[in-house]
Each structure stands twice: as structure tokens, then as C-alpha cells.
Structure 1
Amino acid sequence: MDKQLYYVNLNPISMDTINPTRVNDGQLIEYEIEASETEKKALEDLLHEVQSHDVELGNLFSFRHFDDQKGDRDKNEYQRGLNDVYEALYNLGTPETKSMIKEIHLVNNDQ
């Protein structure tokens, strides 16, 4: 299984884009990963799923955003997805990426 270097940022606008080259935008944190094509596709799918929960279009055109319980469930679901993203980034990450994620305490040590 050939692995290649890719760069991932968690900017809400381009979260589901995994690039083979650095963007080099000082405003973005890019996580460097080593992934096979299959691993890359799985991460892209996860990123797309999490991004779609960030702002659900149906909530923009209804009064559901005034329902605190619904809002809390949406926030919790988004946070669980984001936790899964950081876990995947850690598992696929280069040593530098793993260090960055550990530094901001986003590694689940319960395992």
C-alpha cells in the first residue's frame, strides 16, 4: 500500500479538501498526513460528513435553530465528528502532526 503526503486544514469552507501540496496560508493550520488512496478517501468522507453537520441547511430556513435541545444535539454531534477527525488525523499524521495534536490535548487517552 503506497502512502503519500497530504495536507489537511479544518477551515469550515475547505474542510473536506485534502491537498497534495501545502497551501501556505498563515491563517490556516495544516495537518500533514501520510495516507493510502483508501485512507485518504475515508478521511475525505469523514470530513465531508462533519462539515455537513456544521451548518445544516434545513435549520437555516426553519425555526429549529430556536430549539435549544435540537441545537445542543447538533453541537454534540458536530463535536463527536470533530473528535473523530482529530483521531484520524493523529492516526495518519506525521510525527509533527501527532505532536501538534498532542500539544492541544486532542488525543483520546481513554484507550
Structure 2
Amino acid sequence: MEKQLYYVNLNPISMDDISPIRVNDGQLIEYEIEATSLEKKELEKLLREVQAHDVELGNLFTFRHFDDQEGDRDKNEYQRGLNDVFEELYRLGTEETKAKIREIHLINDDQ
């Protein structure tokens, strides 16, 4: 399959929106990737899963957010998801994207 150039932003509101067009918003960090349509779909799925854990509506209407252990589990699960996202962005990323991710130390170089 042929790879295409896409742009990914991790804005919580539009995290799962992978676009073939650069947004050019100075407030937004975009990661440039090269992916097949299947790789793009898999990344979109991963982004949706992470976004779903960011604010789980069920927690807003219960007392779960007062439970420190439950809150820590939610935070850890969200962080694991973000780590997976950055690993995938690094794998699919252009050299510029890989340099950005290395620069902010969001990938484990020990692998």
C-alpha cells in the first residue's frame, strides 16, 4: 500500500482528526506522519481510545473522582495510552516529527 502524508494534533477536542492538510495554527503542535490507509485507521482508533479515557463522563456523575486509587488508575491508563500514541507517531513520523518527539523526550530511546 502507498503511504500518504498526514498531520496529527493531540488537541483533546479533535485528537482523532488526522488530516492530509496542515492546519498552520501557531497554538497547535502538529505531527507529520507517513501512513497507509490501514495505519491511519489504526492510529485513529488508538487516538479515540485515549481521548475516551481523558474525561470519562461516567466519572463526572459518580463519586469515583473522590477515590484516589481509582483516579490514579484512570490517570495511569490515560498516560499509557498517550505513550502508545507517541510511539506510533514516532514509528510513522517524518524525520521532523521524530526529532520533535526526541527533543521533548517523549519516546524511550532504550529500545
TM-score, length basis structure 1: 0.98
- The answer to whether structure 1 residue 24 and structure 2 residue 24 are counterparts is yes
Distance in 1 between residues matched to 2:85 and 2:44, nearest whole Å? 10
The two structures, once aligned, show a CA RMSD in angstroms of 0.6
1:9 matched to which residue of 2? 9
1:81 matched to which residue of 2? 81
Distance in 2 between residues matched to 1:28 and 1:49, nearest whole Å? 21
Displacement after TM superposition at 1:108 (Å) = 1.3
Distance in 1 between residues matched to 2:101 and 2:24, nearest whole Å? 19
Amino acid at match of 2:18: I
Displacement after TM superposition at 1:110 (Å) = 3.1
1:1-111 alignment runs, 5 A limit: 1-111=1-111
* Structure 1: 5+ residue stretches without partners: none
Displacement after TM superposition at 1:84 (Å) = 0.2
Amino acid at match of 1:34: E
4+ long deviations beyond 4 Å: none
Aligned partner of residue 73 in structure 1, secondary structure: helix
Aligned partner of residue 8 in structure 2, secondary structure: strand
Amino acid at match of 2:109: N
Amino acid at match of 2:70: K
Aligned partner of residue 106 in structure 1, secondary structure: coil
Amino acid at match of 1:59: N
Distance in 1 between residues matched to 2:4 and 2:27, nearest whole Å? 24
TM-score, length basis structure 2: 0.98
Aligned partner of residue 51 in structure 1, secondary structure: helix
Aligned partner of residue 81 in structure 1, secondary structure: helix
Matched positions, count: 111
Displacement after TM superposition at 1:109 (Å) = 2.2
Amino acid at match of 1:39: E
